[in-house]
């Protein structure tokens, strides 16, 4: 098997499709287990990473647009704030009963509105189209290390 496809080749749009050579049509081969094991290890590692990022109940909801902090609301008092993000898209953020949620947004997908309220340190809601993030931080967290502890 030649490394870049099959047969002789002069230009990337030019090639002999001899797909009967070079690979097998089996759904499973013995070596696949290596790949599946690696994916499983990666998954377990990501769960540990996830677990360490989620701490106890947080104290503040930090709202950022494009990575810049726009507002910092204490979770202890109920509040409502409208944040304008990228391309003029806005999110209405509600703090109620110690949890933050996005209750209204004019982004096209509304995934941020569908997200359940967050209250634990490290939790976040992201509105990708508006580039708005709502992240919960504890009092002991510094501004930068809130999530990447």
78, 103, 128, 140: which one binds another protein (CB under 8 A)? 128
Report residue 86: phi and psi, to 5°.
Answer: -65, 140
Contacting another protein (CB under 8 A), which of 89, 91, 101, 122?
Answer: 122
Give strand pairing partners of 84: 90
Binding residue count for another protein, defined by CB under 8 A: 59
User: How distant, in Å, are the alpha carbons of 5, 79, 85, 115, 139 from that of 98?
Assistant: 58, 10, 24, 16, 14
User: Which residues of the chain form contacts with another protein (CB under 8 A)?
Assistant: 1, 3-6, 8-20, 22-29, 31-32, 35-36, 39, 42-43, 46-47, 49-50, 53-54, 64, 66-68, 108-109, 111, 114-115, 122-124, 126, 128-129, 131, 133, 135, 147-148
């Amino acid at each position: 098997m030649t490394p870049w496809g099959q047969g002789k080749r002069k230009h990337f749009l030019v090639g002999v499709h001899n797909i009967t050579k070079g690979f097998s049509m089996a759904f499973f081969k013995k070596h696949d287990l290596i790949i599946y094991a690696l994916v499983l290890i990666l998954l377990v590692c990501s769960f540990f990473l996830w677990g360490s990022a989620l701490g106890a109940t947080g104290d503040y909801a930090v709202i950022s647009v494009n990575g810049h902090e726009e507002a910092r609301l204490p979770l202890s008092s109920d509040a409502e704030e409208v944040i304008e993000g990228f391309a003029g898209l806005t999110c209405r953020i509600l703090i109620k009963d110690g949890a933050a949620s996005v209750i209204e947004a004019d982004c096209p997908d509304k995934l941020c509105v569908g997200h359940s309220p967050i209250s634990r340190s490290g939790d976040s809601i992201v509105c990708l189209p508006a580039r708005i993030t709502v992240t919960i931080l504890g009092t002991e967290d510094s501004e930068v290390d809130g999530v990447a502890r």
